[in-house]
A and B are shown apart, each in its own frame.
Chain A
Amino acid sequence: NAGVTQTPKFQVLKTGQSMTLQCAQDMNHEYMSWYRQDPGMGLRLIHYSVGAGITDQGEVPNGYNVSRSTTEDFPLRLLSAAPSQTSVYFCASSYDGGVSPYEQYFGPGTRLTVT
């Protein structure tokens, strides 16, 4: 099993450009999520999905879109990149515990710089 994979590993964008960060998992997990990690802030939830066709907003959703057409894939779209979106982005997946998600498995991250 590859676990959770993310592409690209590094990306530089100019302000106003759009792009999609890819995330895939092969563990048949229902729950998937996107986080951004900034110094001194820990990880903050951007969007999450409890299954194919279902997505919802996290703590910091503005400027990002997601979709979940399959169980395996959960892409994150930046609509119009801004310097404030410079960060490291992590995708994670876990079993859906029903009441709350279980332990999460993380991808290796995408380091995004917006100039």
Chain B
Amino acid sequence: TQLLEQSPQFLSIQEGENLTVYCNSSSVFSSLQWYRQEPGEGPVLLVTVVTGGEVKKLKRLTFQFGDARKDSSLHITAAQPGDTGLYLCAGPTGNQFYFGTGTSLTVIP
């Protein structure tokens, strides 16, 4: 059983389209992070959200932490081929980090 569930698992869209990726849990997290991973490399941190209801923007990417701190979303506006990759949410419980199942995004030129 995964502590963090992501949806969708796979997403293939045309360049210029918008998309949203969801990260859900039945547990409360003190913070949630989003990572992006490219083939053959380790994940790289995009953002950390800490406060319930918090919204953070990173260029065309908008991250939101749910009010109850059990879920988060990543919205990409006008997706570019360079956004292609595996997106992972992650959160700490005590000294352990739990990762979501991942969303594999392909942006077609």
Contacting A58 at CB < 8 Å: which of B40, B96, B102? B96
Total count of chain A residues near the partner, CB < 8 A: 29
Closest B residue to A49 by CB, please name it: B95
Given A58-B96, A103-B48, does the pair A108, B30 have CB atoms closer than 8 Å?
no
Mark out the residues of chain B between 65 and 109 whose CB falls within 8 Å of any chain A CB in the assembled complex: 88, 90, 92-102
- Counting CB contacts under 8 A, is A13 at the interface? no
Total count of chain B residues near the partner, CB < 8 A: 27
Residues of A within 8 A of B98 (CB): 45, 59
> Are B44 and A106 in touch, CB under 8 angstroms?
yes
- Counting CB contacts under 8 A, is B9 at the interface? yes
- Counting CB contacts under 8 A, is A74 at the interface? no
> Are B92 and A43 in touch, CB under 8 angstroms?
no
Residues of B within 8 A of A48 (CB): 95-97
Interface set of A (CB-CB < 8 Å, partner B):
4, 31, 33, 35, 40-45, 48, 50, 56, 58-59, 90, 92, 97, 99-109
Interface set of B (CB-CB < 8 Å, partner A):
2, 4, 6, 9, 30-31, 33, 40-45, 48, 88, 90, 92-102
